[in-house]
Structure 1
Amino acid sequence: MASQFRNLLQKNRNAVAAAAATGVALAPGVAMTTFMSDDCVHPVSYPWRHTGLFSSFDCAAVRRGLQVYREVCATCHSVDRIRWRELVGVTHTKDEVTEMAKEVEVLDGPNDEGEMFERPAKLFDKLPQPYANKEAGRAANGGAYPPDLSLMVKARHSGHDYVFALLTGYVDKPAGKEMMSTLYYNPYFPGGAISMPPPLNDGGVEYEDGTEATISQQARDVVQFLHWTAEPELDERKKSAGKYLSVLAFVCVATGLWKRWKWGPLKTRMISYVKET
C-alpha cells in the first residue's frame, strides 16, 4: 500500500514538473498559448488611457459612446443600472438630458382610476429597455436573450479588450467549421459562433462633433461608455483616493518628525553608573 502511494505521488510530481516546464518553454508565445482557450482567442491588450491611476474618463468619448449605444445597441441590449440623471454633467447638460428623456414613454401608475398609463420619462427613470421581459427578448432573437450591458466590462475577463475585440472581430468562418446558418463567426466569442450579427458599420452613426465614425472608433467609444456604466463613480473614487493618500502622507511625515523630537533626546543620552566610594 505504501509503495503504491509513493508511485502515485511520484507520477503527480512528474506531471506538475512537465506542466511547469511546458509553461516556461512557451513563455514567448503567451498570446497564442497561455491566453488562448480551446474554443476562443484571447484579445490583445490595448492602452486605454482612462484606466490609469491619475486618468479620468474622456467625456467626449463617453458621449459618443452613448450615441452609439442609443442608435445601435439599444435595439437589443439594456443598461438597467443607469438612470437619466446620472448622465447629467458627464455626457450632457441637465436640459439636454431632460429633452432626451422626454422622447421616451414609460409605463407608470396606477392612477386615481386604478389604471396604468404612459408618460414621458423623467430624470429619475431608468434608460429604456428594448423588451418588456426576457421571454419577449428570446422570441425576437431566435431563443438567445441579449444580456444587459451595465456591468459587461466588469463581468468579462479583460473587459475593455474583450468587448472591443468582439465588436471588431467578425470574420468569415474558417474552412471546415460547422455552424448554423443563423449564427456568425467571431473568434473572440467562446465557441466562435455568436447569435449577434456584426453591429457596427463604417459611417453607421453620424457623430455630433464631426468625428469619423469608423468601426474601430465606434467600438472604442462604446467600450468607454460601457466602462462608465459599470463604474460611474470611478473618477470621484480616484479623486478621493488622491486626497486621502495625500493626507496620509502628511500625517506619516508629521508623526515621524514628532517621534524624533520626542524620543531623540531620550534615545541619544548616555546613563553612567559610578561606584560609590
Structure 2
Amino acid sequence: MVRLISYLVGLAFVGVLAIALFGTVSSAISNPAAETAEEEFHLHPHDIGLSSNGFFGRFDNRQVQRGFQVYKEVCAACHSLKYVAFRDLAEIGYSEAEVKAIANQWVIEQPTINPETGEAATRKNVPSDRFPSPFPNEIAARAANNNALPPDLSLMTKARHDGVNYVHALLTGYRPQPAALVREFPGAKTPAGLHYNPYFANLNIAMPPPLTSNGQVAYADGTNATIDQMARDVSAFLTWTAEPKLGARHAAGIATLVFLLIFTFLCWGAYQNVWRDVKH
C-alpha cells in the first residue's frame, strides 16, 4: 500500500512538472519576448583574415611591429599591458639594442622608492620590466576617463568572443546613432559622454574613437596607415600579446601529428611482421 501511494505521488509530481513545462513553452511561442535595442542593432564582427589564423597560422612580424607602434602612440595613454615585458618584443623581430632603447625611452617610467629618502620615485625602464600602467591606481584611471576603467589589453583577444575580429570591429565601428533606433527605442538614446558603437555589447561605449584619421600613425616601414590598416595591425599585436607562443605551439602540434603518423605506421608494420606466420 505504501509503495502504491509513493508511485501515485511521484506520478502526480511528474504530471505537474509536465503541465508547467508545456505552459511555459506555449507561452514563449505565443508571446515571444520583445526584441531589445541591443539584440536588434548589435552587429557581429567579420573575419579580418590575419596570418595567425588557422592551424598553420604564424605571426607576420612586420604587421605585429606596426601594431605595437599603434599601441605605443595611440593606446598606451590609457591601456596597460601588465602581462608583457619589454624583452618579449624580441620575439617579434626587435634586436636586443632596439628593445633596450624602447624600454629606456618609454614615456611612463617604473615606480620605485628612493633608497635615501624613502619617498616615491621613478626610474627608467629596463628590458626585464613589464610595460608600466599609465595610471598609478584604479581611482586615478577612473578620474581621467569619466569614471570608466580602461581595461588591460594583454589578454583582450582571449577575453572577448571572436577577440581579434572584435577588436578590429570595435575600433572601426564608431558611427552616429541610427535615427531608427531612437524612434523604435526612445530610451536607448546614447547618453552624454558615451559613444555609439554597434559592436559593443550595449551599443554605447565610454571610450572615444581612438583612431580618428588616416595617417594618425606614421609607419616606419612606409605602409599606408588608414584607419582600417591601423585597426588590423593593433589587432594582430594584441593577438600576439595574448598568445605569444602561438607559432611554437602550432609547430609542436604539427611535429606531434607527424610523429604519431610514423609511429602508427611502425606499429602496423611490427604487427604484420610478428603475426605473419600465424594462420587464422
TM-score bracket, normalised by the shorter chain, equals 0.7 to 0.9
Q: Which amino acid aligns with 2:58?
A: S
How far apart are the structure 2 equivalents of 1:45 and 1:148?
A: 23
2:195 is aligned with 1:184: yes
The more displaced of 105-114 and 68-77 is 105-114
How far apart are the structure 2 equivalents of 1:15 and 1:252?
A: 56
Match of 1:206 in 2: 218
Q: Pick one of 127, 148, 152 that aligns with 2:131.
A: 127
How far apart are the structure 2 equivalents of 1:136 and 1:183?
A: 19
Q: Pick one of 51, 54, 58 that aligns with 2:56.
A: 54
Match of 1:157 in 2: 161
TM-aligned CA deviation for residue 195 of structure 1: 0.9
Contact preservation (8 Å) 1:43, 1:161: yes
TM-aligned CA deviation for residue 189 of structure 1: 0.7
Q: Which amino acid aligns with 1:67?
A: Q
The more displaced of 110-119 and 60-69 is 110-119
Contact preservation (8 Å) 1:39, 1:190: no
Contact preservation (8 Å) 1:108, 1:119: yes
How far apart are the structure 1 equivalents of 2:114 and 2:192?
A: 45
Match of 2:205 in 1: 194
TM-aligned CA deviation for residue 51 of structure 1: 1.1
Contact preservation (8 Å) 2:67, 2:237: yes
TM-aligned CA deviation for residue 37 of structure 1: 3.2
Equivalent positions of 1:135-174 (< 5 A) are: 135-174=139-178
Contact preservation (8 Å) 1:62, 1:91: no
1:5-37, Cα deviation, whole Å (9 max, x unpaired): 443344456679x69xx9xxxxxxxxxx9xx83
Q: Pick one of 210, 213, 217 that aligns with 2:229.
A: 217
**Residues 12 and 68 (structure 1 numbering): CA distance in 2 closer, same or farther, change over 3 Å?**
same
2:20 is aligned with 1:8: yes
Contact preservation (8 Å) 1:107, 1:116: yes
TM-aligned CA deviation for residue 128 of structure 1: 2.1
How many residues are matched?
253
Contact preservation (8 Å) 1:50, 1:58: yes
Contact preservation (8 Å) 2:48, 2:232: no
1:247-271, Cα deviation, whole Å (9 max, x unpaired): 12111110111011102222x35xx
TM-aligned CA deviation for residue 147 of structure 1: 0.3
Stretches of structure 2 that go unaligned for 5 or more consecutive residues are 1-11, 183-187
How far apart are the structure 2 equivalents of 1:149 and 1:88?
A: 19
How far apart are the structure 2 equivalents of 1:133 and 1:154?
A: 24
**Residues 55 and 5 (structure 1 numbering): CA distance in 2 closer, same or farther, change over 3 Å?**
closer
What is the aligned-residue identity percentage? 39
TM-aligned CA deviation for residue 120 of structure 1: 1.6
Contact preservation (8 Å) 2:168, 2:232: yes
Equivalent positions of 1:61-72 (< 5 A) are: 61-72=63-74
1:24-60, Cα deviation, whole Å (9 max, x unpaired): xxxxxxxxx9xx8356222223323311211200000
Match of 2:3 in 1: none
2:44 is aligned with 1:42: yes
Stretches of structure 1 that go unaligned for 5 or more consecutive residues are 23-32, 270-277
Q: Which amino acid aligns with 2:204?
A: A
RMSD: 2.4
How far apart are the structure 1 equivalents of 2:27 and 2:48?
A: 35
* TM-score normalised by length of structure 2: 0.83
